[in-house]
Amino acid sequence: MRYLVRDRLLGIGDDYWIEDDRGDKAFLVDGKAMRLRDTFELKDPRGQVLIDIRQKMFALRDTMVIERGGEALATIRRKRLSLLRNHYRVTLADGTGLDVSGKILDREFAVEYDGELLAVISRRWLHLRDTYGVDVVREDADPALLIAVAVCVINLAEKERED
């Protein structure tokens, strides 16, 4: 399943829709403005919150936390030693991990689990400006979680570039 994400243009506090490959609204990323830390909600088209995304306040490295129903689902942080490409580690609540690597700021990266591709994030196949695609490769993968991971790593990479 492929999803189209319109990049937020003005920063935190902006809301933007994610559409499926048929052009239907699939998810809303609701950025919460006026907070001390970056906070987002991923909602379904009816407005029900599926996933909460927030920046962890007191961490040695920039870290984002993904929660579902008030329970921690995943923690995302940049890998320490990565020279050529951006690498992020997603630690799931059960202790397993996902690897995110590629050119994050160019919106050209992949999400893998144990060497198996779960999703590809890319602008290559799109002709719309400020839009990238999230192509969920595995049918049994959680699209909401993978979209939340993409939103997190892009946010972390943009913050790192600003610093």
Tens of pLDDT, residue by residue over 94-111, are 999 999 999 998 899 999
pLDDT of residue 34: 43
pLDDT mean across residues, the chain: 84
Q: Indicate the pTM of the whole model.
A: 0.86
Write out the DSSP string of the chain: -EEEEEPPSS-TT-EEEEEETTS-EEEEEEE--S-SS-EEEEE-TTS-EEEEEEE-SS-SS-EEEEEETTEEEEEEEE-S--SSSEEEEEEETTS-EEEEEEETTTTEEEEEETTEEEEEEESTT--STTEEEEEE--TTS-HHHHHHHHHHHHHHHHHHHH-
